[in-house]
């Protein structure tokens, strides 16, 4: 069973896909930046005459410009979010009349892109609606970030506006990944950023679109998904492995983030229940 939904937001289109391995070649469209929420080994991509083989970690970020990317040898179930910022929004972010071209990316870590994709993923699976105001803010943040880091041009100077810079974000994200099974507090993460908890929480959300605890929870649910599909751990054991001791709470949170209960995922394997639709106020 394949599951795909497409949502249109102000300045941005997002595509969510869940599918079992099909043996078919799939294609990423032009000017996209996306996140894989699944683990893969030995995946092959071809684009612009170049062929690459590599492994994918859940949460890895990929992108391409005007050359489409062809994916093959995907032997495990796939879950991803692709983000397509409008050309007009990219031009505005760059302060240019020419549309910047997104540089190719293969499996980088980027908390800003991951945060935006995680918010919109929940909208796709029916866990959390996203209104057009928040979606517009996320789209602009993504466009500014992409232009500033992955478009090969210097964007107009803009103050960070209280956001964490890329170095501090990467440091905090590394702490989160290393301690998903441990208790984590805002104080712990603020210490990694050398900020007070209050200023850290505000700056982290301004940068990623997620409060620190929301980001940690999203990463824990991604880890839980992998454990449910790749291990024989029981549901309570998976909950404990991702730092949650209340199993009932874990089930509720998992359903909100993925659209189904842990037991449904394990029973159905790669066949999640159907969700998805069109964003309120979006284009047809």
- Mean pLDDT over 59-79 rounds to 92
Model confidence pLDDT, tens digit, residues 10-19: 999 999 998 8
Tens of pLDDT, residues 118-173: 999 999 988 788 999 999 999 999 999 999 999 977 656 555 557 788 899 999 99
Please list, in sequence order, all residues whose beta carbon lies within 8 angstroms of the beta carbon of residue 27, skipping any fewer than 6 positions away: 68, 69, 70, 71
Domains of the chain, residue spans: 1-158, 162-271
- Which residue intervals of the chain are DSSP H helices? 87-94, 111-125, 132-150, 166-178, 186-193, 197-208, 212-230, 235-241, 247-258, 262-268
Mean pLDDT of the chain: 88
Q: Do domains 1-158 and 162-271 have the same CATH topology?
A: no
Which CATH code fits 162-271?
A: 1.10.10.60
* Cα–Cα distance for residue pair 5/40, rounded to 1 Å: 22
Residue of 213, 215, 212, 224 whose CA lies nearest to 258: 224
In terms of pLDDT, which residue wins out, 266 or 200? 200
Judge whether residue 25 has pLDDT over 70: yes
Q: Which fold has domain 1-158?
A: Jelly Rolls (2.60.120)
């Amino acid at each position: 069973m394949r599951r795909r939904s497409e949502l249109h937001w102000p300045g941005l289109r997002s595509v969510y896909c869940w599918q079992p391995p099909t043996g078919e070649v799939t294609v990423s469209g032009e000017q996209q930046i996306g996140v894989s929420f699944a683990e893969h080994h030995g995946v092959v991509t071809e684009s612009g005459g170049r062929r690459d083989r590599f492994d994918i970690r859940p949460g890895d970020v990929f992108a391409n410009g005007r050359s489409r990317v062809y994916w093959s040898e995907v032997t495990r179930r796939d879950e991803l979010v692709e983000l397509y910022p409008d050309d007009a929004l990219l031009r505005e972010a760059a302060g240019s009349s020419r549309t910047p071209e997104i540089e190719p990316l293969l499996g980088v870590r980027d908390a800003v892109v991951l945060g935006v994709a995680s918010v919109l993923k929940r909208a796709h699976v029916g866990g959390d609606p996203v209104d057009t105001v928040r979606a517009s803010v996320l789209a602009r943040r993504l466009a500014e970030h992409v232009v500033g880091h992955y478009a090969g041009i210097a964007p107009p100077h803009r103050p960070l506006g209280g956001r964490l810079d890329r170095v501090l974000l990467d440091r905090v994200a590394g702490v989160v990944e290393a301690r998903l099974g441990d208790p984590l507090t805002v104080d712990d993460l603020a210490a990694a950023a050398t900020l007070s908890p209050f200023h850290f929480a505000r700056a982290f959300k301004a940068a990623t679109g997620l409060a620190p605890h929301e980001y940690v929870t999203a990463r824990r649910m991604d880890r839980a998904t992998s454990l449910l599909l790749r291990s024989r751990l029981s549901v309570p054991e998976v909950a404990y492995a991702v730092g949650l001791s209340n199993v009932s709470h874990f089930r509720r949170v998992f359903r909100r983030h993925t659209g189904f209960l842990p037991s449904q995922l394990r029973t159905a394997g790669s066949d999640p229940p159907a969700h998805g639709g069109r964003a309120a106020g979006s284009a047809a």
